[in-house]
Structure 1
């Protein structure tokens, strides 16, 4: 009997479909809205600090971002922001939640091809309803043997996911756009990772240095490179 076949884990946002571009478009509108009160650097810095402070309560995703944006707007205007502008922020959040799911180039065919050869897990973090909606709208759901929507992606949560699905870390490869959330925790557990950067990265996900992992890490430019890269890992 041969060695067990690899199990592949996929991140969702900005790995399979566009996400950060939607946030960035709303950020631009947010900066314009608050531009008469403060400069862009102050708006960005204060909003980010509010988001980080609220993560433990709100988690990741559009709803937490919207609440933090409202809180920041109230703080930066000393409570003077008109109700109509607060309503604009709420509407921006609603638009983000209803935004069409746009797959990255090459995702549909690559994921389908890999699903025919390997067991695929979708492992993402964020708001449960929003991630479920995006997966349902993506047309990719049938390719995944299981879906894990997590509140955080760290060593403990990955270890729990692998236990639930009876996957040994040495037989697991995680694919994603974030070194911090998708790659480093899995490498720490003894698994492998394929990093496919997105052209925008949220500040909270940025890691300056790619890991050295004794052949267990691949840096790719496009998801279409993934099938060939997977064959280079021992099973």
Structure 2
């Protein structure tokens, strides 16, 4: 579609060999093997052990994201609680939160993207834990310019997440 759009915009002929080449390039994203984040399974096991209901919210093409979920064998952690949004933003997150009938005091977003994970969580009024990527691209460099209603924590390692959530859960019980 992009090739066709720009060909028309620039009054260029459309060549079938180019269409096929562009399709092949686009299809290549479905063939790249996916690597789990370091310690991902250990952290998911621990959160599940602690009794948390785990939900997965990912963004992008449903086919490609579904392939990644299968390849990483995530169904045992999330079961049917998987949400794939074409655009991962505040409105997509709010729609999911409304579906799951969430409690903002007990709901956390854990993610590596300030733009598509952390800022939408802060805007939605839930807790957020940012696990920065080693290499960040400029698309994700955004400021969180609103005061969070919940906790907003940045960690160095995914391994820190279960303890943070468990500690907060204990604080919530004590203060209620």
Give the corresponding residue for 1:135. 69
| TM score, norm. by length of structure 1 | 0.60
Considering only aligned residues, what root-mean-square deviation do their CA atoms show, in Å?
2.8
- Partner of 1:198: helix, strand, or coil? coil
Give the corresponding residue for 1:189. 124
Q: How does 1:164-203 map to 2 (within 5 A)?
A: 164-203=99-138
Asked whether the 8 Å contact 1:101–1:134 carries over to 2, the reply is yes
Cα separation, partners in 2 of 1:170 and 1:156, compared to 1, 3 Å: farther
Give the corresponding residue for 1:51. none
Stretches of structure 1 that go unaligned for 5 or more consecutive residues are 1-66
- Partner of 1:207: helix, strand, or coil? coil
Stretches of structure 2 that go unaligned for 5 or more consecutive residues are none
Task: Please give the per-residue CA displacement for 1:18-69, whole angstroms capped at 9, x wherever unaligned.
Answer: xxxxxxxxxxxxxxxxxxxxxxxxxxxxxxxxxxxxxxxxxxxxxxxxx43x
Residues 167-176 or 93-102, more deviating: 93-102
- Measure how far apart 1:119 and its partner are: 0.9
1:219 aligns with 2:142: no
Q: Matched residues in 2 for 1:195 and 1:79: separation?
A: 45
Cα separation, partners in 2 of 1:72 and 1:109, compared to 1, 3 Å: farther
| TM score, norm. by length of structure 2 | 0.78
Task: Please give the per-residue CA displacement for 1:97-118, whole angstroms capped at 9, x wherever unaligned.
Answer: 1222211211122112212221
- Measure how far apart 1:127 and its partner are: 1.4
- Measure how far apart 1:85 and its partner are: 5.0
- Partner of 1:119: helix, strand, or coil? coil
Cα separation, partners in 2 of 1:203 and 1:83, compared to 1, 3 Å: farther
Q: Matched residues in 2 for 1:75 and 1:177: separation?
A: 38
- Partner of 1:232: helix, strand, or coil? helix
Cα separation, partners in 2 of 1:200 and 1:84, compared to 1, 3 Å: farther
